[in-house]
A and B are shown apart, each in its own frame.
Chain A
Amino acid sequence: MAARIHVGAGAATALSTFNSKKLVAPPSRTNLPARSSKRYIVAAAGSDGSKKSLLRVRHSQKLIANAAVATKAETSATTGTGHELLLFEALQEGLEEEMDRDPHVCVMGEDVGHYGGSYKVTKGLADKFGDLRVLDTPICENAFTGMGIGAAMTGLRPVIEGMNMGFLLLAFNQISNNCGMLHYTSGGQFTIPVVIRGPGGVGRQLGAEHSQRLESYFQSIPGIQMVACSTPYNAKGLMKAAIRSENPVILFEHVLLYNLKEKIPDEEYICNLEEAEMVRPGEHITILTYSRMRYHVMQAAKTLVNKGYDPEVIDIRSLKPFDLHTIGNSVKKTHRVLIVEECMRTGGIGASLTAAINENFHDYLDAPVMCLSSQDVPTPYAGTLEEWTVVQPAQIVTAVEQLCQ
């Protein structure tokens, strides 16, 4: 059942950008180079062949013609007018469009209503939709997350905002037991179509408790999906896809990325929740990253290109499940993998990804998978120390040089 969400395919730019939106449309193979032999791998030895073929169809459309180092400005749609906006505005647009489209969608969180959202993602929505649909909650993460989940059991589609992802640790029980597992323990009776979103990650000297990366804690919860957005384009697309999804989705935003500017299409579009984004195709090494580290990687890529390397940069976007199709294709091409993430070294997304790549693509690797993560320390307040906890572009360059020897 790979045919999900994607209505409103909108963008005729589907083939010129890397994010395919049209799911079931037959692929027009004319402008795709012949890569058929290498394409079909992936772990899925599943029983349902039809499912897999849809998966293949979808990915084969997603062919990249853009060989330039993609900076934030260039990831936008290249045709049509489009409009420029900041990432938080893109999130707001996505949210507003979905709330217009479906009256069951509602928002709840601290300061989302009258205040407009602590990062302005919900600005103006309370005036438009009213207090019940954009609900200012008291400071009780456990209760309002549980409330959102209970409402979802009856058919509403709440978007629950954690003012900072770190605060959702207080709601871990609700997220793990009720959000993730209720569909299973009820034998399929209840669906929990919630979106839990919020900013996380290391900011600018926010201190240890406000610089947490919760994706590593949530990744084992069965039944949820996790995605991380990194550009205004994929932020809006992922927000819309997450709201339309019947599964509970946790959307990780990053505190430092809210003011990124990009031009996005005017037409309606959605990004696939389980798909990774090819940022920069290359031949020598695969660099897997997500969220803010994407920009550190791209900065390092500039240096690397000058030094003569050709890195392939993939923004994995989907943290659970991993898009092993795209990743696998890349590994089979380059035979070297570097993972750059902001999670802690122990038990982070990189750790799981390393394991997954080793298991599935071991034969294709010429070198061990290297993973650059944040240090296993609480994020210090002092600026220089904070810089050292997180992976910096210089370290990425060194790692690539090491791997490519």
Chain B
Amino acid sequence: MALSRLSSRSTTLFQPLAAAFPTTLRRHISTDTTPITVETSLPFTSHLVEPPSRAVETSSSELLSFFRDMALMRRMEIAADSLYKAKLIRGFCHLYDGQEAVAIGMEAAITRRDAIITSYRDHCTFLGRGGGIFEAFSELMGRTTGCSKGKGGSMHFYKKDASFYGGHGIVGAQAPLGCGLAFAQKYSKEEAVTFTLYGDGAANQGQLFEALNIAALWDLPAVLVCENNHYGMGTAEWRSAKSPAYFKRGDYVPGLKVDGMDALAVKQACKFAKEHALKNGPIILEMDTYRYHGHSMSDPGSTYRTRDEISGVRQVRDPIDRVRKLIISHDIATEKELKDMEKEVRKEVDAAVAQAKESPIPEPSDLFTNIYVKGFGSESFGADRKELRATLP
């Protein structure tokens, strides 16, 4: 097993050693937190601010958790893909595979009191905030056990107790909302920041610049993160933006360009951004990332880009493989252990899918719940005006 991998990815140096020693000598999952310093693959490019150092402090347990969580996210998105093709997930389904490093790196740098708000490509961000895969799959399949009780769907995942504010379908509409979250944090003097994620497509929305202006004017603790996967739906960034240097588009707002496929770089940047935002107001982070799937499940993803490009990125820049190499090179786990971890993750995801498939669909009366917080007995009808009648609760 180890030798077969020699030619492809793993560093050759440690494999023979690992094979020589029995695996019981090394713990399977390392909970070792002694700091390891790793250099990010690329330097940071900055605008109006001193970039942070390339040396990132991490630990074995963190790297392993990165690997596991990213593998879980990747597996979840692939499962969602098959569920969609099996018509168990309907409507729109926007998958995040390829971009996992952004969600994971961000989580590593912040606390649950910091708020995150994102667009419709929110499945993995939800997981990163502590959401469960069972809730995620239930929501995708429209069951009551879903995180939004089946009434939101793929684009409306929320988790209030983890300060995850969704999940928004309209491109760019989350930018002003994110400023509102930051405003509330400043108002309540919470010493927390808000990460407002948007894509390269949304970067051309007027409301984003309105929100930037407001955030900069009032020194709101807002970090605006542009997840630049280089395609706004089906249009490449060079065809939709005059200036694709999204981190510079804040003009008076400082910006940082980050390799979004490197979870440690993301972590470093987010840590830096949080400190900056708490002291000096907003900052833009541009995460240079890539999505393997198309914009959504109805988009094959290959009409506006070549398959070679996709597989090229997958081979050279895949975030999970990068962490895998790091783990193996730092001797934290073997290739086999990582493979086992992936298998475990796969089983977990399959179990969650199976459980979600068994979950109940919402009752007809659920149509009328949660329209108002406190209803007032006004009546509402279903289409036929006889069968489905309810007093709005």
Q: Which of A172-190 contact B (CB under 8 A)?
A: 173-174, 177-178, 182-190
A-contacting 9-mer, from B67-75, B103-111, B170-178, B262-270: B170-178
Contact across chains for A146 and B181 when beta carbons are under 8 A apart: no
Residue on B nearest A47 in the bound complex, by CB: B391
B369 close to A188 (CB less than 8 A): yes
By the criterion CB–CB under 8 Å, are A177 and B374 in contact?
no
In the assembled complex, B187 has its CB within 8 A of some CB on chain A: yes
CB <8 Å contact, B183 and A1: no
> Within 8 Å of chain B (Cβ to Cβ): is A51?
yes
Q: A150-B184, A186-B152 are in contact. Are A225 and B379 (CB under 8 A)?
A: no
Are A187 and B187 in touch, CB under 8 angstroms? no
A246 with B373, Cβ < 8 A, contacts A185-B148, A186-B156, A189-B148 known: yes
Of B12-20, B85-93, B206-214, the segment with at least 4 beta carbons within 8 Å of chain A is: B206-214
B281 on interface, CB distance cutoff 8 Å: no
Q: Does A7 contact B (CB under 8 A)?
A: no
Query: Does B312 make an interface contact (CB < 8 A)?
Result: no
Minimal beta-carbon separation of B152 from chain A (angstroms): 4
Interface string of B82-120 (1 = CB under 8 A from A): 000000000000000000000000000000000101000
Instruction: Mark interface residues in A143-183 (1 if CB within 8 Å of B CB, else 0).
Output: 11111111111111000000000000000011001100011
Q: Is the CB of A153 within 8 A of B177?
A: yes
Please indicate the chain A residues that have their CB under 8 angstroms from the CB of B370 in the complex.
183-184, 187-188
Using CB atoms, name the residue of chain B closest to A1: B374
B179: chain A residues at CB < 8 Å are 143, 146-147, 150
For A48, the closest partner residue in chain B by CB is B391
Given A44-B379, A189-B148; A51-B371 close (CB under 8 Å): no
User: Could you say which of A137, A153, A245 contacts B165, with CB atoms under 8 Å apart?
Assistant: A153
Q: Is A44 touching B378 in the complex (CB atoms < 8 A)?
A: yes
- Compute how far the CA of A68 lies from the CA of B177 in the bound complex, rounded to whole angstroms: 50
A140, A182, A183, A189: the one contacting B214 at CB < 8 Å is A140
* Chain B: minimal CB distance from A112 (Å): 14
0/1 string, A234-263, CB within 8 A of B gives 1: 000000000001110000000000000000
Docked complex Cα distance between A142 and B173 (Å) = 9
Q: Is B234 an interface residue (CB 8 A)?
A: no
Contact A55:B377 (CB < 8 A) given known A48-B393, A150-B181: yes
CB distance from B363 to the nearest CB of A (A): 12
Q: Is the CB of B375 within 8 A of A146?
A: no
* Docked CA distance A2–B393 (Å): 9
Interface residues of B in 185-211 (CB under 8 A from A): 185-188, 206-207, 210-211
A147 and chain B: residue at smallest CB distance: B180
> B377, A46: Cβ atoms under 8 Å?
yes
Question: Is there contact, CB below 8 Å, between A187 and B376?
Answer: no
Determine the distance from Cα of A183 to Cα of B188 in the docked complex, in whole angstroms.
22
How far apart are the CA atoms of A229 and B349 in the complex, in Å? 54
Q: CB distance A274 to B378 under 8 Å?
A: yes
Does A138 interact with chain B (Cβ within 8 Å)? yes
Which A residues are in CB contact (< 8 Å) with B153?
185
A185 near B173 with CB under 8 A, answer no
Return B66 CB to nearest CB of chain A, in Å. 28
Interface residues on B, range: 35 or more
Interface residues on chain A, size class: 35 or more
Chain B: minimal CB distance from A291 (Å): 21
Is B214 touching A147 in the complex (CB atoms < 8 A)? Answer: yes
Q: CB of B43 within 8 A of chain A?
A: no
Q: Once the chains are docked, how many angstroms separate the CA of A132 from the CA of B160?
A: 25
- Interface: A278 (CB within 8 A): no
Check A132–B173 contact: CB distance below 8 A: no
Contact with B along A317-335 (1 / 0, CB 8 A): 0000100100000000000
Q: Mark A335-378, 1 if CB is under 8 A from B, else 0.
A: 00000000000000000000000000000000000000000000
Q: How far is the CA of A106 from the CA of B181 in the complex (A)?
A: 14
Contact A321 B158 (CB under 8 A): no
A385 contacts the other chain (Cβ, under 8 Å)? no
**A223 touches B (CB below 8 Å):** yes
Q: A43-B379, A132-B187, A187-B152 are in contact. Are A146 and B390 (CB under 8 A)?
A: no
A4 touches B152 (CB 8 A): no
Taking a contact as CB atoms closer than 8 A, the residue among A47, A52, A144 that contacts B176 in the complex is A144
Report yes or no: B168 in contact with A2, Cβ–Cβ below 8 A: no
Q: Which of B117, B149, B151 contacts A150 (CB 8 A)?
A: B117
> Does A45 lie at the interface of the complex (its beta carbon under 8 Å from any beta carbon of B)?
yes
Indicate with 1 or 0, residue by residue over A188-227, a CB within 8 angstroms of chain B CB atoms: 1111010000000000000000000000000000110100
Give the residue of A46, A146, A193, A321 whose beta carbon is less than 8 angstroms from that of B211: A146
Q: In the assembly, what is the distance between CA of A140 and CA of B180, in Å? A: 13
Contact B173 A178 (CB under 8 A): yes
CB distance from A373 to the nearest CB of B (A): 23
- B238 on the A face (CB < 8 A): no
B217 contacts chain A at the CB level, 8 A cutoff: yes
Cβ-closest chain B residue relative to A155: B184
30 residue pairs A–B, Cβ–Cβ below 8 Å: A1-B376, A2-B377, A4-B374, A4-B376, A45-B389, A52-B377, A138-B213, A142-B206, A143-B207, A143-B211, A146-B173, A150-B117, A150-B181, A150-B184, A151-B180, A151-B187, A153-B181, A153-B184, A173-B173, A174-B173, A177-B168, A177-B169, A184-B370, A185-B148, A186-B148, A186-B160, A187-B146, A189-B158, A223-B371, A247-B372
A-B interface, 8 closest residue pairs, ranked by CB to CB distance from nearest:
A150-B180, A46-B391, A146-B176, A143-B210, A187-B149, A150-B177, A140-B210, A246-B373
